Amino acid sequence: MANMDLKSGSEARFLQIHELEELRNHAYESSSRYKERVKRLHDKRLRDHKNFRVGDVVLLYNSRLRLFLVKLKSRWMGPHTVKEIFSYGAVIIEDSNVVNFKVSGHRLKVYINGPVDSWWR
């Protein structure tokens, strides 16, 4: 009788372990599909907003601001005007002082009317 309980207990434990493994595999697959879907939506949104044209008004991301403890200041400088676009995402922009410089298109975003902090000037 004790041998029978031990055998049925081991079979039950074996089934529990395999059921747990199936649940883990299902969760892993579900997580992978979700991550792929989110990445696809994120990439689609990035590409839609990064198509600049000459004459567009844009804001430039200020990466140096991270070094300072300025929490409430905007990290975007501008507005700037797009003067020239190169392959691989490089863009020449012009600021209000008619100074041109080349930046990566990843550091730019389209400017929508409104005030911009001018603390860097």
Domain boundaries, the chain: 1-49, 57-110
Q: Mean pLDDT of successive 10-residue segments in the chain (121 residues)?
A: 74 91 94 92 69 89 67 80 88 90 88 66 45
For 12-70, the three-class secondary structure string (H helix, E strand, C coil) is HHHHHHHHHHHHHHHHHHHHHHHHHHHHHHHHHHHHHHCCCCCCCEEEEECHHHHHCCC
pLDDT for position 5: 81
- What pLDDT is recorded for position 46? 65
Write down the architecture of domain 57-110 according to CATH: Roll (2.30)
pLDDT of residue 33: 95
What pLDDT, on a 0 to 100 scale, did the predictor assign at position 120?
Answer: 47
Position 83 scores a pLDDT of: 95
Of 101, 103, 95, 106, the residue nearest 49 (C-alpha): 106
Where does residue 93 rank: exposed (0-12), middle (13-18), buried (19+ CB within 10 A)?
buried
